[in-house]
Structure 1
Amino acid sequence: MGNISRLPGTAEHHWLWQEDAACRELGSRLFFHPVGERGPDSEERDAAAKEVCARCPVRRECLQHALEVQEPFGIWGGLTEQERRRLRAAGRGRKRSAVSASASA
């Protein structure tokens, strides 16, 4: 689980998007890899999970949640752990560039 201090709180409206998730009735096995899973098995499971995400009406909300809480495990919003880390790192790089550019102006 991500850092719980980043969770949006207990108010129901923070979580309502989950009711419309395409994965809601599928369980977690497809979205979270078992210990030691590597190679083709991992790639196949990830691809199957991403297919579910591709047709999900709340994909954007799911990904936003995972990024905000820095969810360290599983497929969220169609992205793996590594893909989300790269996305966050790219965002930090853009922020640093903008700060540097404004500081030198």
Structure 2
Amino acid sequence: MADLYWTNRAACRAADPDPFFPLIWDGRHQPAVRICSGCVVRPRCLEWALESGEPDGVWGGTTPAERRRLRRLPRLKTST
């Protein structure tokens, strides 16, 4: 049976969640960003966080502030 859930392949699946959800954004999240950098589902994770409006934590290698900036960028329209 094929793996239907991208989260099952996430590099963070077995990682300590603390760096992904720091109480203070003073660099404590950098271990999480490093884990994300080599993750095969990073693009899908970031897409989910942007679509869902996830306000907390490191998702797809981005901080909440980085995702807020990304959401403000104009979207490119693709023709079909």
TM-score by length of 2: 0.82
Shift of 1:27: 3.2
| Structure 1 residues 38-90: Cα deviation after superposition (integer angstroms, max 9, x where no partner) | 5xxx21x2221110000001000100000010000010000000000000011
SS of the residue 2:60 aligns to: coil
Is 1:22 the equivalent of 2:5?
no
Moved over 3 A (4+): none
1:73 equivalent in structure 2: 56
Richer in helix (by share): 1
1:33 CA drift (Å): 1.1
- Cα root mean square deviation, aligned: 2.0
* Normalised TM-score (structure 1): 0.64
- Does the 8 Å CA contact 2:33/2:62 hold for their aligned counterparts? yes
Give, in angstroms, the shift of residue 30 of structure 1: 1.2
Question: Aligned partner of 1:83: which letter?
Answer: E
- Percent of paired sites with the same residue: 43
User: d(CA) in 2 for partners of 1:85 and 1:53?
Assistant: 18
Number of the residue aligned with 2:22:
33
Count of matched residue pairs: 75
Q: Which runs of 5+ in 2 are unaligned?
A: none
Q: Which has the higher contact order (CA 8 A, sep 6+)?
A: 1
